[in-house]
């Protein structure tokens, strides 16, 4: 499919995109009645397709994607304090050579825009910006009001070290409680973001700290389902994280991105600002890493005879990719990069189901 302009204008700043809302001028396809429903964490869904934390900056973006048939939108990660975005540019194209886990932290060079979604790989670097809690709580309520029968909005949260004197563990729980108070029906704790330099960026690598955080969160949110969002890990390491967190979580979403160092044609840091040589890469190039992680999570779930939901994220670019992850056994499949440039993907998948 020919590459169209994305719903997030990568030529503008985060703040400009936030204020202007999503870019979309095409017709909204009619909502099709679901021929079957999908169960997820006790909710009945019209489809198992969603958009992970990232592209859905506010209620305007959530509402658009809900109307386009993305039935599980994840509201972009929020904090207990306001946080500005990294400066523009925040998204750059890179060449689509398929990545392996061993490629993490290696170097890639920016490239021209591809001709099609199938060749689409980008790096993104925002730094998990957030509105102040009063503002995002009101906006979460607006976004929740856009959900239709068979749809479920998840709210992604992250802790901020030192916010109002709270340590990271307590701030995660505090922020999750704020999300629940705003009406969040499911909460995702974001343990993976390579675009921040502080401790919250790679929590998923530390089993004991992750477990302490989710324990603290569950004490505050009670029976509200809790998902953790993680990056790629070898199977033994992954199993240790899952086993430590398992008493307190209801699902695992993986992966976020693959962290790489991004340079321009001259070999210089491509994204401006301190600490931005490394950034997360997403899109077609990470499909293999993401599929492998889905397989590991499913194998661990089987081995532990557990029931946590598996949300497969990363490199989902086409309807066939959705089918592949579902056939593997994933409970939900989410797309971020393709969803930005090909927002009708979910509608086409539903049409194909008949």
* Separation CA 14–CA 8 (nearest Å): 9
Q: Which residues contact 13 (CB under 8 A, 6 or more apart)?
A: 85, 87, 88, 90
**Which position among 91, 193, 245, 282 bears the catalytic label?**
193
> Taking CA 97 as the corner, what is the angle to CA 92 and CA 102, rounded to the nearest 5 degrees?
100
- Is there a domain that residue 135 lies in? yes
- Is there a domain that residue 8 lies in? no
Dihedral pair phi/psi, residue 154, rounded to 5°: -105, 145
Q: Which residues of the chain have pLDDT under 70?
A: 1-2, 193-201
Cβ atoms 61, 22 nearer than 8 A: yes
Which pTM value belongs to this model? Answer: 0.96
Question: DSSP H helical segments within the chain, as ranges?
Answer: 14-20, 59-67, 133-144, 168-181, 207-221, 235-245, 287-304, 319-328, 337-341, 345-352
- Is there a domain that residue 234 lies in? yes
- Is there a domain that residue 123 lies in? yes
- Is there a domain that residue 251 lies in? yes
- For residue 72 the two structure tokens come to 């599980």
- Is there a domain that residue 5 lies in? no
Tell me whether residue 277 is exposed, middle or buried, using C-beta atoms within 10 angstroms of its C-beta: 0 to 12, 13 to 18, 19 or more.
middle
- Is there a domain that residue 201 lies in? yes
**pLDDT tens-digit map of 79-122:** 999 999 999 999 999 987 899 999 999 999 999 999 999 889 99
* Separation CA 161–CA 197 (nearest Å): 11
Q: 3-state DSSP call for residue 261?
A: strand
Tell me whether residue 105 is exposed, middle or buried, using C-beta atoms within 10 angstroms of its C-beta: 0 to 12, 13 to 18, 19 or more.
exposed
Tell me whether residue 13 is exposed, middle or buried, using C-beta atoms within 10 angstroms of its C-beta: 0 to 12, 13 to 18, 19 or more.
middle
> Taking CA 83 as the corner, what is the angle to CA 79 and CA 89, rounded to the nearest 5 degrees?
120
The mean pLDDT of the chain is: 94
pLDDT of residue 118: 87
- Structural domain of residue 244, as residue ranges? 14-19+37-352
Q: Residue 242 sits in a domain of what CATH number?
A: 3.20.20.70
* Separation CA 160–CA 170 (nearest Å): 9
pLDDT of residue 194: 59
Dihedral pair phi/psi, residue 51, rounded to 5°: -120, 125
Tell me whether residue 266 is exposed, middle or buried, using C-beta atoms within 10 angstroms of its C-beta: 0 to 12, 13 to 18, 19 or more.
exposed
* Separation CA 318–CA 130 (nearest Å): 30
- Cα of first residue to Cα of last residue in the chain, in angstroms, is 22
* Separation CA 281–CA 314 (nearest Å): 10
- Is there a domain that residue 267 lies in? yes
pLDDT of residue 95: 87
Number of folded domains in the chain? Answer: 1
Q: Is 282 a known active-site residue?
A: no
């Amino acid at each position: 499919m020919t590459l169209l302009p994305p719903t997030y204008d990568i030529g503008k700043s985060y703040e400009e995109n936030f204020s202007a809302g999503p870019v979309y001028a095409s017709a909204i396809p009619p909502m099709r009645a679901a021929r079957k429903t999908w169960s997820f964490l006790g909710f009945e869904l019209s489809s198992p397709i969603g958009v992970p934390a990232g592209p859905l900056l506010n209620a305007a973006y959530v509402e658009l994607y809900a109307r386009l048939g993305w039935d599980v939108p994840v509201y972009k990660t929020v904090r207990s304090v306001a946080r500005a975005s990294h400066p523009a540019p925040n998204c750059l194209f890179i060449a689509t050579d398929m990545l392996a886990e061993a490629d993490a932290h290696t170097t890639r060079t920016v490239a021209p825009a591809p001709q099609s979604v199938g060749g689409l790989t980008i790096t993104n670097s925002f730094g998990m910006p957030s509105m102040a809690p009063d503002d995002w709580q009101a906006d979460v309520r607006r976004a929740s009001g856009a959900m239709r029968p068979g749809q479920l909005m998840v709210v992604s949260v992250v802790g901020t070290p030192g916010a109002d004197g709270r340590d990271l563990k307590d701030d995660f729980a505090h922020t999750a409680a704020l999300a629940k108070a705003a009406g969040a029906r499911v909460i995702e704790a974001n343990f993976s973001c390579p675009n921040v330099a502080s401790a919250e960026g790679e929590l998923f690598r530390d089993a004991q700290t992750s477990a302490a955080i989710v324990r603290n969160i569950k004490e505050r949110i009670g029976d509200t389902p809790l998902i953790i969002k993680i990056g790629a890990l070898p199977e033994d390491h992954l199993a240790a994280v899952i086993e430590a967190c398992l008493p307190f979580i209801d699902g695992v979403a993986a992966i976020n991105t693959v962290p790489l160092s991004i340079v321009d044609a001259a070999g210089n840091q491509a994204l401006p600002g301190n600490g931005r040589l490394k950034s997360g890469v997403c899109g077609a190039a990470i499909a293999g890493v993401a599929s492998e992680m889905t397989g590991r999570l499913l194998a661990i779930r089987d081995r532990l005879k557990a029931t946590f939901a598996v949300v497969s994220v990363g490199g989902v670019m086409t309807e066939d990719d959705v089918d592949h992850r579902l056939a593997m056994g994933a409970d939900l499949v989410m797309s971020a990069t393709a969803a930005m440039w090909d927002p009708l993907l979910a509608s086409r998948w539903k049409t194909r189901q008949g």
